[in-house]
Structure 1
Amino acid sequence: MPSLLPSYLGLPTVCMSALFSRRPLYGLFQYNSSMIGLESLADPSDTWEIIETIGKGTYGKVYKVANKKDGSLAAVKILDPVSDVDEEIEAEYNILQFLPNHPNVVRFYGMFYKADQYVGGQLWLVLELCNGGSVTELVKGLLKCGRRLDEAVISYILYGALLGLQHLHNNRIIHRDVKGNNILLTTEGGVKLVDFGVSAQLTSTRLRRNTSVGTPFWMAPEVIACEQQYDYSYDARCDVWSLGITAIELGDGDPPLFDMHPVKTLFKIPRNPPPTLLHPEKWCRGFNHFISQCLIKDFEKRPSVTHLLEHPFIKQVHGKDMSLQKQLAELIQEQQQLGSIAKTRHERIHTRRPYHVDRADKYSLDDDLVNLEVLNEDTIIQQLQKRYADLQIYTYVGDILIALNPFQNLSIYSPQFSKLYHGVKRSSNPPHIFASADAAYQSMVTFSKDQCIIISGESGAGKTESAHLIVQHLTFLGKANNRALREKILQVNPLVEAFGNACTAINDNSSRFGKYLEMMFTPTGAVMGAKISEYLLEKSRVVKQAVGEKNFHIFYYIYAGLYHQKKLSEYRLPDKKPPRYIDNETGKVMHDIITKDSYGRQFEAIQHCFRIIGFTDEEVYSVYRILTGILNTGNIEFAAISSQHQTDKSEVPNPEALDNAAALLSIGSEELQEALTSHCVVTRGETIIRTNTVDKAADVRDAMSKALYGRLFSWIVNRINTLLQPDKNICNAESGMNVGILDIFGFENFTRNSFEQLCINIANEQIQFYFNQHIFALEQVNLTLLRSS
């Protein structure tokens, strides 16, 4: 589901010291655990050597490593200590360290700590290498080829998973996240349970748990119920439900409700009848019955793992396990050779029970306005003012982020904050635009679906800057191997905005065009390219601006840059008085250019953007010639010619301006004058040349300037798209994914409105309609479905 990111006009700045004093950002500090003593852990560099990357998880990457002593292979999960995974690290380490070895549970080789004073230390969890992939990948690879798993092989996989669960349950451990991605295979056909980050250790005095945790599609009804029913609890049989959902996944390729938003499944699962295979009639009765036994909603009546091992569908494996293992190994090898295995991940959730909130803790609830007991316009405004007074510019409204424009630079967008908002639960940190970008990125990678972030708000609300920050964080999240590509993407917005933004009466950097930026990623989440679509460029601004407003930034940048580089004469521009198109306030532009160096610095920045993105010197030179050609065209004047005939005629009294414009545009002066002062009319095969009046000639001149600038802007955008298109050797367009960022000007109502304002306001009405559909209409439909179920 797309994320909506409205941006509203707001008040002053955020002081991070105030944020820290009221709500510490624990992710900023080194990981510190009462159980895991980092100083006692060995350095992995002495024992293990990384060979290659084999996977990417929410909190880090998984690598294949080799033992330096005996050459044996293993897998290592490397976790960055700034990620908010402390509890999960402890849980997994505790269980893996003390759990006896079992052939159906991944073997643990130890935890290591690699210190680094520059990027922070890393925790290494070294585990048995299961290089056959997950059962989810195997099933999806087969379905992609038009095949499915044989029922006997499914029973063998479920048999191995049951044995692994029986081992856990016998040691009083509930896995709580059983799913296809957590059942790995070895190339020899072995079946292994992995990932104990949310597992629970039972004790003799506590044989049940009451924490709502897991991956939504696989969560048992009783686990979901614990979120609202505080006196509710569950036991190890919640793993049986998850295994039943996994059995459906082995047959159909996806769990039930997979196409629904994960949060909505938490409402559906307890209310819906137990799910079944999509086409039960295509599978044997034993398989269907096994699933139905696993998915008994009353967990008190649900069989245990030990009982399920006696189920006929599972017992058919007895005596055939060696042949089925061989069959599975051959299937894995075949799919790996075909390269048809598709990776899919689903994010798990971990919610905590509410606790008593005192005055010092109230800010965590204020992060989201939906937590307000009374929700109306007054309480929303009051809450935003309160947070603003507490120097917090970001506030959630469900999956929407409200951003209050501080109108000054803040120190909350550094690389340190990018790390803080990388792959963590939203509730772990204060609201931030990086959190919204991270949510879109994680949803894209997890569900393999394109995402979109819509930025809306009035002019001056900070939409353009918000788009910058989103691109910055997405570039950080999708770290490409090609550093030059990352640099190119970061230079796109400054370049396009120089040509498409302008100073208005209420905003010094107002977007005068609509922009949709698509950042393209590989299936593993690495950025591989970008594409821009531009809409509704306000071309009329090229030739006329309202009082107190300016032309597009690039005209001032290039004139100031050429002035300070003493190159105005090379582009036939006057050095005493700026061209008419940028001299809206007589004398002020020239004064600013002479006394200030900001325009000149911006010109150098634009040159840098052109160079980094990949424009050639010849292309940049042509762009400069067209821009200065437009400025010289604006200086062309017209005067009436006295004539004995009735027809009005016009001429150019300043031929120097005409010659300058023609030379820069590489056309003849006479042809340009003829095009401006006359026009052709073709009727019935006869061509009639008519002369233009002074006013008509001026209109033609301005129309030509607007058309030239519009075509130049479109060419620059298309050229950027060509230079940033994905490398076909890396990934084809069909297998890639993208996150779209829509940045469009807000509603406008001026003293004198034009066709551009009509188009802008219609576009904003459509966005508002989409917003209403997203917030109200879809929720009404879901409420109706819930009532009917």
Structure 2
Amino acid sequence: MFPRSGKSIVFDNFPDPTDTWEIIETIGKGTYGKVYKVLNKIDGSKAAVKILDPIHDIDEEIEAEYNILKALSDHANVVKFYGMYYKKDIKCGDQLWLVLELCNGGSVTDLAKGMLKRGDRMDESIIAYILHESLMGLQHLHINKTIHRDVKGNNILLTTQGGIKLVDFGVSAQLTNTRLRRNTSVGTPFWMAPEVIACEQQLDSTYDARCDVWSLGITAIELGDGDPPLSDLHPMRALFKIPRNPPPTLHQPELWSDEFNDFICKCLIKDFELRPNVLDLLQHVFIKQTVGREKILQKQLIELIDLNQQIGVIEKTRHERIHTKKGSHMKTQDADEVDDLATLEVLDENTVADQLQNRYARDQVYTYVGDTLIAVNPFHKMEIYTPEHTKMYIGAKHTANPPHIFAVADTAYQSMVSYNNDQCIVISGESGAGKTESAHLLVQQLTVLGKANNRTLQEKILLVNSLVEAFGNACTVINDNSSRFGKYLEMKFNGGGTVVGAQISEYLLEKSRVVHQAMGERNFHIFYYIYAGLADRKKLAHYKLSDSKTPKYLYHENIKLGPDIVNNASYKEQFDAVDIAGISVIMPALSSCIWLVMKHKAAGTCRQSVLDIVKPNEAQSTDCSWDLHVNSTYVVITRQRYFTVSFCRP
């Protein structure tokens, strides 16, 4: 049963529709009920009726649509309103009938899709005419302090006489002299303006009538491409992307005129304070081409409508709108099948934990939350990083494959190439979460995407990345390969998307680990690799290192520096990296470091003992063995440098 009254209307006061109208056939389905073609029993005229299902919580939207239609339907580009009726039915539930002008030419979306299905596309002059008439309708609303808030192709209907009508005012908002902005996130996701989406997350965010301009810009793309941008994504995922992505464009902008592209660009300015209003857009050169040609364009539009109807009904894709005040009316996947947690209606800590646990039990270690990828360390090798998987995620839609870190790499790469903008991927997590391995996999996929035409360059990027981690990673109590530093890896690509180099920066390195480790922990991996390598090659004596006694700060009861290290794959990888990168000079440098720390341990821990160890005249004999300049070494070790930051006072 409907509530008997809204805030200002009483449903019982409306007449019974069966006295005047007779249902002929079903036209389609709206947001809250079906739409039928009806016949007027008195004068034989035909109309459309939206019969609202008996839902309890939509009285505000019914009232909004009723008030706007009653007040503003006297415009050529707004659907005519013939009245509201109330049908009492104890058995099936009461019904509200909104009787409207019959727009039997379908929607502009139907027209665009029908033409594309025939291998054709809508002429720009027809698109300009549709947009001009839509702007006229929006101007009428905005002048009367009303925001439509759900402008899209399916809400712009056509009559068989070439009329263009705005419909569906259920979520429209009326402004007042004291309230010129709104702060409710409402609309259909793919067409929603960034500032409208922001109202869901930022309580102080507002927007004005220019949100309709953004939606019209998306509709313009829809008329050209047949679908709005991001339509291949789940609607809730699109809500994550719209505020973060650059303004969308036509799929192939080069196929369209500069004027059409510029019109879309003006509509889709992300800062709504800088976005033009409807009156400004009516003066745009793309729209003004219709002036004086209205009759000709209307005739051409009628011919297209007739042709479209002769071919048959185009399968419609329904995009449900959302309203943050009432919650989403969209259907989501079953909880067990969700790859993206953002699609869940309820997203709290318990839900996330349950979802991740269930997926982990099925060896699904990756899960999306909008643009974020959650990776749960499986602690065992998985066959999901093969060359076949590498190819599977290149240029693929997120929805085409299960969540994967390769998809993150592909998204960043494709965005970089498409928008010619730098991209950034942040990897964060607890110790042992798999950050290091995730970084390896990202670099691996990006080098494949970057089509490095120099195999040596590709190997350098991959191996040197591992080499840097050998310098900064160590075994801790809870993680055998814990990163003891922060790493910033910058990969360079040319204009064609080919990788041309990489640069790695480190920060917050735990330098004290070189001379002191907590109980049960080890030094940085690189020292074990170097010492074991020199021992294996019988070169310890050459670098003044003992071959009979393991250095104290490298000793560990559970590891044998010789065979355990030399037979380790990581050991071989590091020495390959040294050779490929051409930085064999690090061998004597690291050896000297081991020697210095051994001396330091023997002499004590005071700073003066270190100074004594590396006096140039006493260390001169080691100069040839290390291939280092001792005077320079002395300066580096014994002199401190301080970095200060200057602050500018206002």
For normalisation by structure 1, the TM-score amounts to: 0.44
CA distance in 2, matches of 1:771, 1:43: 58
CA distance in 1, matches of 2:197, 2:281: 23
Matched, 1:199 2:91: no
**Does the 8 Å CA contact 1:141/1:342 hold for their aligned counterparts?**
no
Residue number among 291, 294, 297 corresponding to 1:324 in the alignment: 297
Q: Which of the numbers 347, 352, 362 marks the counterpart of 1:768?
A: 362
Aligned with residue 788 of structure 1, among 424, 427, 438? 424
2:25 paired residue number = 52
Provide the residue aligned with 2:331 in structure 1: 439
Do the aligned residues in 2 keep the contact of 1:140 with 1:342 (CA within 8 Å)?
A: no
Partners of 2:166 and 2:5 in 1: CA distance:
28
Please give the per-residue CA displacement for 1:195-231, whole angstroms capped at 9, x wherever unaligned.
0011000001111111111111111111111112211
Pairwise mapping of residues 55-454 of structure 1 onto structure 2 (< 5 A)? Answer: 55-82=28-55, 84-352=57-325, 425=327, 439-440=331-332, 454=336
Q: Deviations over 1:700-729 (max 9, x none)?
A: xxxxxxxxxxxxxxxxxxxxxxxxxxxxxx
* C-alpha deviation, 1:97, in angstroms: 1.3
Q: Secondary structure at the match of 1:788?
A: coil
In structure 1, what residue type is equivalent to 2:186?
A: V
The 3 A distance-change label for structure 1 pair 283 and 29 is closer
Structure 1 residues 29 and 83 mapped into 2: Cα distance closer, same or farther (>3 Å)? closer
Q: Secondary structure at the match of 2:363?
A: helix
What SS is found at the alignment partner of 2:57?
coil
Partner deviation per Cα, 1:399-421 (whole Å, 9 max, x = no partner): xxxxxxxxxxxxxxxxxxxxxxx
For 2:331, what is the secondary structure of its paired residue?
helix
How far off its partner does 1:263 sit? 1.1
Post-superposition shift, 1:303?
0.8
Cα pair distance change 1:779/1:349, threshold 3 Å = farther
8 Å Cα contact 2:73-2:80 kept in structure 1: no
How far has the Cα of 1:83 moved from its partner? Answer: 5.1
Is the CA contact 2:109–2:226 (under 8 Å) kept in the aligned structure 1?
yes
Task: Tell me the alpha carbon deviations over residues 724-762 of structure 1, each in whole angstroms, 9 at most, x when there is no partner.
Answer: xxxxxxxxxxxxxxxxxxxxxxxxxxxxxxxxxxxxxxx
Contact 2:64 2:172 in 1 (8 A): yes
Q: Using the alignment, how far apart are the partners of 1:146 and 1:313 within structure 2?
A: 24
Identity percentage of aligned residues = 66
Shift of 1:114: 0.4
1:37 aligns with 2:37: no
One-letter amino acid matched to 1:203:
T
In structure 2, what is the Cα distance between the partners aligned to 1:100 and 1:773? Answer: 48
Q: In structure 2, do the counterparts of structure 1 residues 215 and 788 end up closer, same or farther at CA, with 3 Å as the change threshold?
A: farther
Q: Is the 8 A contact 1:104 1:164 kept in 2?
A: yes
Give deviations 1:115-135, integer Å, cap 9, x for gaps: 011111100000000000000
Q: Give the secondary-structure state (helix, strand or coil) at the position aligned to 2:265.
A: helix
User: Structure 1 CA distance, aligned partners of 2:123 and 2:334?
Assistant: 39
Question: What is the deviation of 1:765?
Answer: 9.3
* Structure 1 SS opposite 2:310: helix
Per the alignment, residue 497 of structure 1 pairs with none
Does the 8 A contact of 2:2 with 2:94 survive in 1?
Answer: no
CA 1:83–1:770: 2 relative to 1, 3 Å: farther
For the residues of structure 1 that align with 2:335 and 2:270, how far apart are their CA atoms? 38
Using the TM superposition, give the Cα deviation of residue 57 of structure 1 relative to its aligned residue in structure 2, in angstroms.
2.1
* Residue matched to 2:493: none
Give the 3-state SS of the residue equivalent to 1:76 in structure 2: strand
Contact (CA 8 Å) 1:134, 1:181: kept in 2 or not? yes
User: Residue in 1 aligned with 2:573?
Assistant: none
Tell me, what secondary structure is at the counterpart of 2:60? helix
Q: CA deviation at 1:779?
A: 8.7
Distance 1:262 1:49 in 2: 37
Structure 2: where are the runs of 5+ without partners?
A: 339-357, 376-402, 413-422, 426-650
Max Rg structure: 2
Q: Give the superposition deviation at 1:81.
A: 2.2
1:36 CA displacement: 2.2
Inter-CA distance 452–100: structure 2 relative to 1 (3 Å threshold): closer
Cα 1:783–1:93 shift into 2, 3 Å: farther
8 Å CA contact 2:188, 2:319 repeated in 1: yes
> What is the letter of the counterpart of residue 346 of structure 1?
H
Higher relative contact order (CA 8 A, sep 6+): 1
Q: Note if contact 1:159-1:314 (Cα within 8 Å) is conserved in structure 2.
A: yes
In the TM superposition, what is the alpha-carbon distance from 1:344 to its structure 2 partner? 2.1
TM-score (normalised: structure 2):
0.53
Rounded to whole Å, the distance in 2 between the matches of 1:455 and 1:230 is 32
When residues 207 and 120 of structure 1 are mapped into structure 2, their CA distance, relative to the original with a 3 A threshold, is: same
User: Which deviates more from structure 2 when the two are superposed, residues 175-184 or residues 338-347?
Assistant: 338-347
* Mapping of residues 667-706 of structure 1, within 5 Å: none
How far apart, CA to CA, are the structure 2 residues paired with 1:113 and 1:149? 41
Alpha-carbon contact 1:142-1:340 (below 8 Å) kept: no
Equivalent residues of 1:33, 1:86 under 8 A apart: yes
In the other structure, the counterpart of 1:570 is none
Residues 316-336 of structure 1: per-residue CA shift (max 9 Å, x gap): 111111111111111011111
In structure 1, list runs of 5 or more residues that go unmatched. Answer: 1-27, 353-423, 428-437, 441-450, 457-763
- 2:233 and 2:79 map into 1 onto residues whose CA distance is 31
Q: Is the 8 A contact 1:209 1:234 kept in 2?
A: yes
The 1:117/1:145 distance shift into structure 2, 3 A limit, reads same
**Matches of 1:61 and 1:273, distance apart in 2:** 37
Distance of 2:121 and 2:16 partners within structure 1: 44
Displacement, 1:84?
A: 3.2
Q: Distance in 2 between matches of 1:153 and 1:227?
A: 36
RMSD, matched Cα: 2.6
Deviation readout 1:77-128 (Å, 9 max, x if unpaired): 0002225322211110111112250000001111000001111110000000
Residue type at the aligned position of 1:37: V
Question: Counterparts of 2:127 and 2:273 in 1: how far apart (Å)?
Answer: 26
CA shift in 2, pair 1:782/1:30, >3 Å: farther
8 Å Cα contact 1:162-1:305 kept in structure 2: yes
Contact 1:144–1:340 under 8 Å retained in 2: no
Residue pair 1:212, 1:351 contacting (<8 A) in 2 also: yes
> Deviation digits for residues 155-192 of structure 1, max 9, x if unmatched?
00000100000000011000011000000000111100
Q: SS of the counterpart of 1:439? A: coil
Q: Are the aligned partners of 1:212 and 1:224 in contact in 2 as well (CA < 8 Å)? A: yes
Please give the alpha-carbon distance, in whole angstroms, between the structure 2 residues aligned to 1:239 and 1:30: 31
Once residues 199 and 229 of structure 2 are traced to their aligned partners in structure 1, the CA distance between those partners, rounded to angstroms, is 21
CA contact (8 A) 2:359 2:365 kept: no
Give distance in 2, aligned partners of 1:233 and 1:176: 13
> SS of 2:319's equivalent?
coil
Q: Which amino acid aligns with 2:115?
A: L
Distance (Å, rounded) in 1 between the aligned partners of 2:215 and 2:424 = 26
In 1: Cα distance, 2:255 partner to 2:290 partner: 21
1:32 deviation in Å?
3.8
Preserved CA contact (<8 Å) 2:322 2:328: no
| Cα distance in 1 for residues equivalent to 2:307 and 2:243 | 39
Partner amino acid for 2:243? P
- Secondary structure of 2:315's counterpart equals coil
